[in-house]
Amino acid sequence: MVDDHEVVRRGVVDVVDADQALTVVAEAGSVLDAVRRAAAVRPDVAVVDLKLPDGTGIELVRRLREDHEEIRCVVLTSFDDDDAVAAALDAGAAAFVLKTVRGTEIADVVRAVAAGRNLLDERAVARRKAAHTDPTESLTPTERKVLELIGDGLSNREIGDELGLAEKTVKNHVTGLLAKMGFRRRTQAAAWVAAHRQGTGWNVS
């Protein structure tokens, strides 16, 4: 956990440590300290503040990814800035989370990233920059439900079981919603849902 504000850092550490599936192995308050500690303990995930006294979280993410490609990074910040999201993506971050989210959501993101999920996507970033348009506006109610379940990681068969639909029908809905949202792969739709759950609280209701 990397943040130069001790109160914030300790708060996130307490939340993460409270999750039985997670353990905080090191804390740091600067880029230099984080680089040293990462080399010593080799964490699975690094949660990094965007602003640090001797550099930026983006610089740290890039350094960690260059030195230890197995370390996956979550950018945690109070600034909801499209350029910062794009920079985090370019640096190799797997997720971008605002400090306004609930504590349990931070733990959820860390677990998802540790499991190999990427919650940033180039098309999702592009959609954020075009915030005046909602790519889900043209979706039918069923397509919105299918999109939500894609975001939960369900397969077409599992979505069919959940909604009482045939697997072929679900596949047709997936094809339709991807086309309407401008995506080519369902993983992009899943990344969009994850990003908007964190950033705007998007859901099907």
The string of pLDDT tens digits covering residues 4-60 is 999 889 988 999 999 999 999 999 999 999 999 999 999 999 999 988 999 889 899
Q: Quick check: is 43 in a domain? A: yes
pLDDT of residue 4: 92
What total number of domains does the chain contain? 2
Same-domain status, 10 and 47: yes
Q: Quick check: is 1 in a domain? A: no
Is the predicted pLDDT of residue 119 greater than 90, yes or no?
no
Same-domain status, 38 and 138: no
pLDDT of residue 200: 46
* Greatest CA separation for the chain: 56
The candidate with the shortest Cα–Cα distance to 50, out of 27, 22, 73, is: 73
pLDDT of residue 129: 53
Same-domain status, 97 and 77: yes
Range of the domain at 99: 6-120
Of the pLDDT bands very low, low, confident and very high (cuts 50, 70, 90), residue 81 is low
pLDDT of residue 148: 93
Same-domain status, 107 and 38: yes
Same-domain status, 55 and 87: yes
Q: Which amino acid is at 57?
A: G
- C-alpha distances in angstroms, 129 versus 30, 80, 93, 132? 30, 11, 18, 8
Q: Which CATH number characterizes residue 68's domain?
A: 3.40.50.2300
Same-domain status, 80 and 173: no
